[in-house]
Amino acid sequence: MSTYRTYWTPEGHIELWGSTDGTLYLHPGSIAGDQIILIPPTDMTPEQMLTVADRVLTGVRRWRDTVAEHVERKRTTADELAAAKAEIERLRAEQGGAT
């Protein structure tokens, strides 16, 4: 098994070339950069391909949900910090600006 690391950029995209062969092309950066190509073996049945596609989709959904949870946690933390700062300023104003 080989492992290669590449970094996804905002320009990254996914392509399907040929709707029936089950090949998936991932371009983490520009079209001229790195590629990840998922190619099914020639003896794989369409039903097996669908099983693999479902498994990949499940993994990507889990990844997406994890990213979304992280974003929400960061947003919530930032909102709570902003609210706390506003409350501190309000209390200071009530006390005549004392620090």
Query: Which residue range(s) make up the domain with 31?
Result: 1-39
Query: Which residue type occupies 6?
Result: T
SS (H, E, C) 4-39: CCCCCCCCCEEEECCCCCCCEEEECCCCCCCCEEEC
Q: How many residues does the chain have?
A: 99
Q: Please tell me whether residues 47 and 70 are part of one structural domain.
A: yes
State the virtual CA torsion across 68, 70, 74, 75 in degrees, nearest 10: 20
Q: Please tell me whether residues 35 and 48 are part of one structural domain.
A: no
User: What is the structure's pLDDT at 8?
Assistant: 86
Q: Please tell me whether residues 33 and 77 are part of one structural domain.
A: no
Tell me the C-alpha distance between 98 and 92, whole Å: 6
Q: Please tell me whether residues 80 and 93 are part of one structural domain.
A: yes
Q: Please tell me whether residues 47 and 18 are part of one structural domain.
A: no
* Number of folded domains that form the chain: 2
Q: Please tell me whether residues 59 and 96 are part of one structural domain.
A: yes
Tracing tokens 């020639």 back to the chain, one arrives at: 42
Q: Please tell me whether residues 46 and 82 are part of one structural domain.
A: yes
Q: Please tell me whether residues 1 and 27 are part of one structural domain.
A: yes
Question: 7-44 pLDDT, tens per residue?
Answer: 888 888 888 876 667 788 888 887 778 888 888 898 99
Confidence class for position 99, pLDDT limits 50, 70, 90? low
